[in-house]
Amino acid sequence: MTHVSQTLSSSAPLAPLTLPARRPRLALPALLLLAFVAVPLVGNDYWLGAILVPFLILSLAGLGLNLLTGYAGQTSLGSGGFMAVGAFATFGFVVHGGLPLPVAVFLAGLVTAGAGLLFGLPSDRIKGFYLMVSSLAAQFFFEWLFQKFPWFYNYGSSGTIALPRFEIFGLNAGSALGRYYVTLAVVAVLTWIAANLVRSQTGRSFMAIRDMDTAAAVIGIPVYRTKVLAFAVSSFYLGIAGALWAFVYLGSASVQSFGISRSFQVLFIIIIGGMGSISGNFIGAAFISLLPLAIDYTAQYFFAGHVDAGLLQNTQKAIFGVLIIWFLIKEPDGLARLFRNLGERLSNWPLRF
Amino acid sequence: MNLFLETLIGGLLAGTMYSLVAIGFVLIYKASGVFNFAQGSILLFAALTFVTLLEQGLPFAAALAVTILILILGAILIERTVLRPLANRSPMTLFMATLGLSYVVEGAAQGLMGAQVHALDLGIEDVPIFIGDVLISQFDLVAAATAVALALVLALLFNNTRIGISLRAVADDTRAALSIGINLNRIWQIVWAVAGIVGLVAGMLWGARQGIQFSLSLVVLKALPVLIIGGFTSIGGAIVGGLIVGAAENLAETYVGPYIGGGITPWFPYFLAIAFLYIRPAGLFGERTLERV
């Protein structure tokens, strides 16, 4: 009997079981107003184009992985590979198929979803760490594929893919502001869909499987189909993120832009931000984008010019690692939980009881 | 036929190099259930420390001793600062902590000892020799012998010493081991130190072949398919898995590679591993876990 109660309590759910108290929903409109109106007013080209655009795209990639890992419980190290599929498929649809970019990006998302579905197929028998290691197959296979066959990069000499800058709805997407708006719009829509997905029956099934797939099967959830679906949905998001990364942020990309370090970066975003949380992806991505800047700035400020770049890079790496371990020890549910706790405390302030 | 034999044997021998890396994983996973992604960076750190000490003018044996001492201290430090605060957390949390750890170790190794390539000469001649009429790399033979010797030593350690038996007890049932008075923290320290030393051996052999540099920490990616084919919990499995991956990878590159553009070694072992896992989901020698609802 004791054993049973242990297994039940040991799998602590990552998402809250109780519904949060109803509060007037002002946070979201305020955030959107801030992102769509206030930020473009105050931001300069450097902040918009070089920091906010990659931040938003990384948030989207984190969201994709979080659907698979944080919600459905299937850890994957293939995110970079799927982002590459999105980028190269977009390129293919534009160059070989002559489609307009938005259509190409959407179709590329579907292609990536198909690829994710294929690599999700073994998940009925392979579980846990074994599945995680297997997901590296996707990473290395796609890296090889897009490097080996020149058709994918249209027989260019260096293996890079690039598209001419585009215009959407009269917005010149060549400017930092245009790129920011395009990214923001895509990310906002996809986040809205994801937030609704995880509240739907599908999302509940994801979480049931994450918490214990045997138990989920017992209560009648089609486990295999749901797992494969999670792989497909997650890959769709990663594919779109990859396409945006290549053509909206970088402008030209190659396989190296989507190497295994990208997979780890996306994984870190969801660890730091919070598994099984939508807002966590944004917090995690903000952290990942800003931390190197903060370290650079601090180093510049204190030892301007005295530190060599290599040492700085290694210190940055070590600090990053220490922070990850520290987060895992202090707040295993990530920064999103930390912020929520803070918010709850503030909402009761100063009378806590 | 000769080409086939040469490819096969070359692959088998190269596979033992993968096994060496995988053994370090298995040790830690067995004793603490931690999927230690930092094994690759520990390998880099160990090899880099060793070669730096050699370059400072220490004799071979002294450099080896000092490196081992540093690895033991490192293991104690890791146990105190990472494992102990994270005890009883989910395996996934621990895995992610080792990802962070790999960043720290890599950053420390390269920050302290530089990122340039170091050559390491172990005095093993890398000239191919003929056995019968099959050409075999002498270096590979030595590496294979080392892997087998290491596995034997570890098997003896596990089966015939007090520490080894405690290790197996912890691996078998942590709670029961605790209740009969086995010091879990000490066991973790020992296991991480031993895994570090295994990493040092692997790092020295890999380093002698390709130079000691950052890419050394990436051999971890070579060892992972070995690990899942053999199973996370079996040292013998790591050896057999290494042989399978080495041989299959070499044969595939020689016979299949030319038809699909070549360079398939980065991903081929993973597909092989998926195929194996599909038949045996916990690897060839891994322990199956019973799930209770």
Contacts of B93 in chain A (CB under 8 A): 328, 332
Better pLDDT: B293 or B212: B212
Which residue from B85, B108, B264 is facing A318, i.e. has the nearest CB?
B108
Q: List all residues of chain B from 252 to 271 with a beta carbon under 8 Å from chain A.
A: 260-264, 266-267, 270-271
Q: Are the Cβ atoms of A318 and B100 closer than 8 angstroms?
A: no
Whether B117 and chain A come into contact, CB under 8 Å, resolves to no
pLDDT digits (tens, 9 = 90+) for B259-286: 887 788 889 999 999 998 888 887 788 7
* A183-211 pLDDT, tens digit each: 999 999 999 999 999 999 999 999 999 99
Which token pair is A56?
A: 């938003």
Contact A59, A66 (CB under 8 A): no
Token pair 């099984």 in the structure block, residue:
A276
pLDDT at A272 (0 to 100):
87
Residue A15 pLDDT level (bands cut at 50, 70, 90): low
**Is A312 or A235 the better-scoring residue by pLDDT?**
A235
Residues of chain A found within 8 Å of residue B267, distances taken between Cβ atoms: 137, 140-141, 143-144
User: Does B228 lie at the interface with A, CB-CB under 8 angstroms?
Assistant: yes
pLDDT for residue B158: 83
The residue ranges of DSSP E strands in chain A, in sequence order, are 161-162, 167-168, 171-172, 252-253
Check residue A230 and give its pLDDT.
Answer: 96
Please report the pLDDT score of residue B1 as a whole number: 65
pLDDT over 70 (residue A7) = no
Lowest mean pLDDT among A70-79, A230-239, A304-313, B49-58: A304-313
Cβ–Cβ under 8 Å, residues A68 and A128: no
| Choice between A67 and A296, residue whose per-residue pLDDT is larger | A67
CA dihedral B28, B246, B272, B103 (to 10 degrees): 40
Domain boundaries, chain B: 21-217
Rounded CA separation B159/B153 (Å):
10
Average pLDDT over residues B126-133: 73
Residue A167 has pLDDT above 70, yes or no: no
ipTM: 0.86
What ranges do the domains of chain A cover? 43-259
B214 part of contact set with chain A, CB < 8 Å: no
At residue B48 the predicted structure's pLDDT band, cuts being 50, 70 and 90, is: very high
Position A8 scores a pLDDT of: 41
Indicate the average pLDDT of chain A.
Answer: 85
Q: Chain A within 8 Å of B290 (Cβ-Cβ)? A: no
Tell me what pLDDT residue A31 has.
Answer: 84
Q: Please check whether residue A47 touches B, CB under 8 A.
A: no
B145: left (phi over 0), alpha (psi -120 to 50) or beta: alpha
Average pLDDT over residues A212-223: 92
Please give the residue of chain A at the shortest CA–CA distance from B29.
A129
Please name which of B293, B292, B271, B274 lies closest in space to residue B283, comparing C-alpha atoms. Answer: B274
- Residue A305: is its pLDDT beyond 70? no
* 0.90 exceeded by pTM: no
> A72 to chain B nearest CA, in Å?
14
Q: What is the pLDDT of residue B81?
A: 93
Segment B211-233 shows an average pLDDT of: 86
Q: How confident is the model at residue A9 (pLDDT cuts 50, 70, 90)?
A: very low
Residues of A within 8 A of B105 (CB-CB) are 321
* B168-186 residue pLDDT tens: 888 778 888 889 988 989 9
**Nearest-by-CA chain A residue for B262:** A148
Residue A79 predicted with pLDDT over 50:
yes
Which of A166-170, B99-103, B204-208, B264-268 has the highest mean predicted lDDT (pLDDT)?
A: B99-103
The chain A residue lying nearest B87, using CA atoms, is A329
Contact between A137 and A81 under an 8 Å Cβ cutoff? The reply is no
